[in-house]
């Protein structure tokens, strides 16, 4: 198809050349042969006229009043001065159109009307002037010339008494003309062949660079910008090639810039913390970035083109439906909040336009607010919890002091009893405030650890010693399963770790009514494990994951009655994590609980900060 187009231009140029030359040569040939023929005939006529005039034949014939009676005489004169048998023959015709004498003996005595062109004879006789014609005698074309013979008698009257009729054979002229024509045709054919060849070469010199351009453009259309067109000349085509190369460079540059921008945008989209979705106005998805996929749970192997907005986001809420979205962002951007049990997303959307300023789609940005929402909820809960925890002891203190003021002071036993309660409630508030302050300091990094390498065993021994009394009060035994003389070292802040152990042990004792509390210390695979088990009431499966939350208590009333605030394990976990360790609890309800504290062990040798 393309090839045909190229060759058609080439052939069209050749054809135009061919036709131009053909027309020119044809006109030239026709003109030349015609003028040659006219020239030949003219000179023939001139020759004959000259010969006839110079021969005095007309004058000689004019001497006779009548030609017929002197035919012998005339014939003799003709025979004398005219040679017969040459390509021209001469006859004398009298006024009655009889051939009186002729260089051709066959014609003598015949009627001129039978053998000659009688029209020119008649007009010569009537008008008295030379006439001529061309005619065909058999296969031979001839030129006829007729000269009138004028006789003037003694009285001065003149009359046309006859005519001299010359017939010239045109065969040789015709042969010459056809020979010339032949030569012309041959020359023309040769010229045309040369024209076709030259024309083809010229056309090729024009079409070849155009073909080059076409080939390069074809490559470019397939994305290959490396090839450039060779500039072979300085003419228009050379300039075209040069301009083309320039354009190609510009295009290459522009495409590289566009690609760069695209890559940049792609990277931004890829690593954007917010989810981004672009859709067209029909709800077809144009783009989804990884964050949006993650938020909406769309696997990365599903191409965005096969996604539908309505199935992806449109069904979340009424104001996220496509039409609602389009309406909402008609006058600027819109926003919405998607809330579920486990997620909160702030959604913002706006239309985007094409280069003509027409709306073509909507960009939706999803911001994951789950964590922020959770923190806000926690904060609200925290304030509520703190107020609640403070309110109970304050109410108690208030009611006991009122009762005392109302007269109970007068009874010393009751008064002492009441004051003890007031004192314990104040203690409780004090503990609560202390715990809160510690948590707050840790949250703000204002309570730095003083890490030193020290023996975990000695720390555990000390903690057990401190708790022994309260265990004994409840009739519980504390069993040490480890070697109390042992030496297992860890980098720790002793005071904090003691607080951790006391919290865990106090819980074990608090929530165990009978049986024992056991404690073990092990070092395995680079970890020091402190395992505290009890035979107490245990923790229900559902609560197990929550006991490290602030203020969380399985049984609020029971815990509170034992002076608990629900902050112990929260502080414990935070301290352990600051030591780069971890704390976990396992429990079966009614059978007991095991709390495992893991700390990284020290296995480096060198300068140590030994306690």
Smallest gap from residue 495 Cβ to ligand ATP (A): 17
Smallest gap from residue 319 Cβ to ligand ATP (A): 42
Q: Which among ligand ATP, Mg ion, none contacts residue 359 (Cβ within 5 to 8 A by kind)?
A: none
DSSP 3-state of 138: coil
DSSP 3-state of 369: coil
Smallest gap from residue 367 Cβ to Mg ion (A): 38
Smallest gap from residue 527 Cβ to ligand ATP (A): 22
Are the beta carbons of 224 and 251 closer than 8 angstroms?
no
Smallest gap from residue 477 Cβ to ligand ATP (A): 15
Nearer to ligand ATP (CB atom), residue 89 or residue 534: 534
Pick the closest to residue 137 from 117, 121, 161 (CA basis): 117
Please identify which residue in the block is written with the tokens 């165990």: 512
First to last CA, the chain: 93
Smallest gap from residue 323 Cβ to ligand ATP (A): 51
User: What is the contact surface with Mg ion in residues (CB under 5 A)?
Assistant: 507, 568
Smallest gap from residue 409 Cβ to ligand ATP (A): 32
Ramachandran sector of residue 486 (left: φ over 0; alpha: ψ -120 to 50; beta: rest):
beta
Nearer to ligand ATP (CB atom), residue 117 or residue 435: 435
* Rg, Å, the chain Cα set: 67
Q: Which among ligand ATP, Mg ion, none contacts residue 408 (Cβ within 5 to 8 A by kind)?
A: none
Nearer to Mg ion (CB atom), residue 361 or residue 568: 568
Q: Which among Mg ion, ligand ATP, none contacts residue 509 (Cβ within 5 to 8 A by kind)?
A: none
Q: CA 42 to CA 228: how far, in whole Å? A: 69
> Element (H or E) spanning 14, and its range?
helix 2-54
Q: CA 536 to CA 143: how far, in whole Å? A: 154
Smallest gap from residue 395 Cβ to ligand ATP (A): 19
Q: CA 128 to CA 122: how far, in whole Å? A: 9
Nearer to ligand ATP (CB atom), residue 57 or residue 567: 567
Nearer to ligand ATP (CB atom), residue 349 or residue 552: 552
User: What is the contact surface with ligand ATP in residues (CB under 6 A)?
Assistant: 503, 507-508, 511, 534, 536-539, 547, 552-555, 559, 564-570, 593
Q: Which residue is nearest to Mg ion (CB)?
A: 568
Q: Which residue is nearest to ligand ATP (CB)?
A: 568
Nearer to ligand ATP (CB atom), residue 33 or residue 543: 543
DSSP 3-state of 472: helix
Q: Which residues pair with 152 in a beta bridge?
A: 158
Structure tokens at 55: 């021969």
Cβ neighbours of residue 589 closer than 8 Å, sequence gap 6 or more: 537, 538, 539, 540, 541
Nearer to Mg ion (CB atom), residue 195 or residue 507: 507
Q: Which among ligand ATP, Mg ion, none contacts residue 71 (Cβ within 5 to 8 A by kind)?
A: none
Smallest gap from residue 376 Cβ to ligand ATP (A): 23
Q: Which among ligand ATP, Mg ion, none contacts residue 511 (Cβ within 5 to 8 A by kind)?
A: ligand ATP
Q: Which among Mg ion, ligand ATP, none contacts residue 593 (Cβ within 5 to 8 A by kind)?
A: ligand ATP
Nearer to ligand ATP (CB atom), residue 162 or residue 568: 568
> Element (H or E) spanning 507, and its range?
helix 494-510
Instruction: Give me the torsion for CA of 323, 328, 333, 338, rounded to 10°.
Output: -80
Q: Which among Mg ion, ligand ATP, none contacts residue 536 (Cβ within 5 to 8 A by kind)?
A: ligand ATP
DSSP 76-125: HHHHHH--TTSSEEEEEEETT-BEEEESSTTTTTSBHHHHS-HHHHHHHH
Nearer to Mg ion (CB atom), residue 97 or residue 571: 571
Smallest gap from residue 596 Cβ to ligand ATP (A): 12
Q: Which among ligand ATP, Mg ion, none contacts residue 601 (Cβ within 5 to 8 A by kind)?
A: none
Nearer to ligand ATP (CB atom), residue 241 or residue 569: 569
Structure tokens at 273: 């913390």
**Paired sense of beta strands 158-169 and 344-353, if any:** unpaired
Pick the closest to residue 288 from 316, 268, 269 (CA basis): 269
């Amino acid at each position: 198809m393309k090839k045909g187009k190229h060759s058609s231009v080439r052939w069209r140029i050749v054809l135009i050349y061919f036709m131009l030359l053909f027309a020119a040569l044809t006109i030239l040939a026709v003109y030349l042969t015609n003028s040659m023929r006219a020239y030949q005939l003219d000179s023939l006529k001139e020759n004959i006229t000259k010969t006839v005039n110079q021969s005095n034949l007309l004058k000689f014939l004019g001497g006779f009043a009548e030609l017929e009676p002197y035919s012998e005489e005339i014939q003799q004169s003709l025979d004398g001065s005219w040679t017969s048998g040459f390509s021209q023959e001469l006859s004398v015709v009298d006024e009655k159109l009889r051939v009186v004498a002729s260089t051709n003996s066959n014609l003598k005595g015949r009627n001129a009307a039978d053998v000659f062109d009688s029209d020119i004879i008649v007009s010569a006789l009537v008008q008295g002037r030379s006439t001529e014609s061309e005619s065909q005698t058999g296969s031979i074309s001839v030129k006829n010339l007729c000269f009138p013979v004028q006789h003037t008698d003694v009285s001065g009257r003149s009359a046309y008494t006859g005519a001299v009729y010359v017939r010239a054979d045109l065969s040789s002229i015709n042969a010459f003309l056809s020979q010339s024509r032949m030569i012309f045709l041959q020359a023309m054919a040769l010229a045309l062949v040369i024209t076709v060849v030259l024309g083809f070469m010229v056309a090729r010199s024009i079409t070849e660079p155009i073909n080059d351009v076409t080939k390069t453009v074809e490559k470019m259309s397939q994305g290959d910008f490396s090839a450039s067109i060779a500039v072979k000349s300085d003419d228009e085509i050379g300039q075209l090639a040069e301009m083309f190369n320039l354009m190609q460079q510009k295009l290459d540059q522009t495409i590289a810039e566009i690609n760069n921008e695209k890559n940049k945008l792609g990277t931004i989209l890829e690593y954007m913390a917010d989810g981004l979705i672009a859709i067209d106005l029909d709800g077809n998805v144009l783009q989804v970035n990884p964050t949006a996929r993650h938020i909406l749970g769309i696997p990365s192997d599903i191409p965005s083109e096969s996604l539908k907005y309505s199935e992806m986001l449109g069904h979340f809420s009424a104001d996220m439906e496509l039409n609602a979205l389009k309406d909402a962002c008609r006058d600027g951007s819109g926003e919405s909040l998607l809330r579920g049990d486990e997620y909160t997303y702030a959604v913002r959307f706006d239309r985007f336009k094409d280069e003509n300023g027409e709306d073509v789609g909507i960009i939706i940005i999803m911001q994951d607010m789950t964590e922020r929402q959770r923190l806000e909820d926690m904060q609200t809960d925290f304030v509520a919890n703190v107020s609640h925890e403070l309110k109970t002891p304050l109410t108690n203190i208030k009611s006991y002091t009122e009762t005392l003021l109302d007269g109970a002071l007068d009874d010393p036993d009751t008064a002492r009893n009441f004051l003890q309660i007031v004192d314990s409630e104040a203690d409780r508030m004090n503990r609560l405030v202390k715990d809160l302050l510690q948590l707050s300091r840790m949250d703000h990094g204002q309570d730095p650890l003083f890490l030193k390498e020290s023996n975990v065993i000695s720390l555990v021994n000390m903690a057990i010693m401190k708790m022994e009394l309260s265990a004994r009060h409840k009739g519980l035994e504390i069993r040490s399963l480890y070697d109390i003389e042992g030496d297992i070292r860890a980098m720790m802040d002793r005071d904090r770790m003691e607080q951790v152990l006391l919290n865990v042990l106090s819980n074990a004792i608090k929530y165990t009514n009978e049986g024992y509390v056991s404690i073990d210390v092990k070092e395995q695979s680079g970890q020091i494990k402190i395992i505290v088990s009890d035979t107490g009431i245990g923790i229900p499966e559902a609560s197990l994951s929550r006991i490290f939350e602030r203020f969380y208590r399985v049984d609020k009333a029971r815990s509170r009655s034992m002076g608990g605030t629900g902050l112990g394990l929260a502080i414990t976990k935070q301290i352990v994590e600051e030591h780069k360790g971890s704390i976990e609890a396992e429990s079966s309800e009614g059978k007991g609980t095991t709390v495992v504290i893991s700390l990284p062990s020290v296995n480096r040798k060198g300068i140590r900060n030994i306690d």
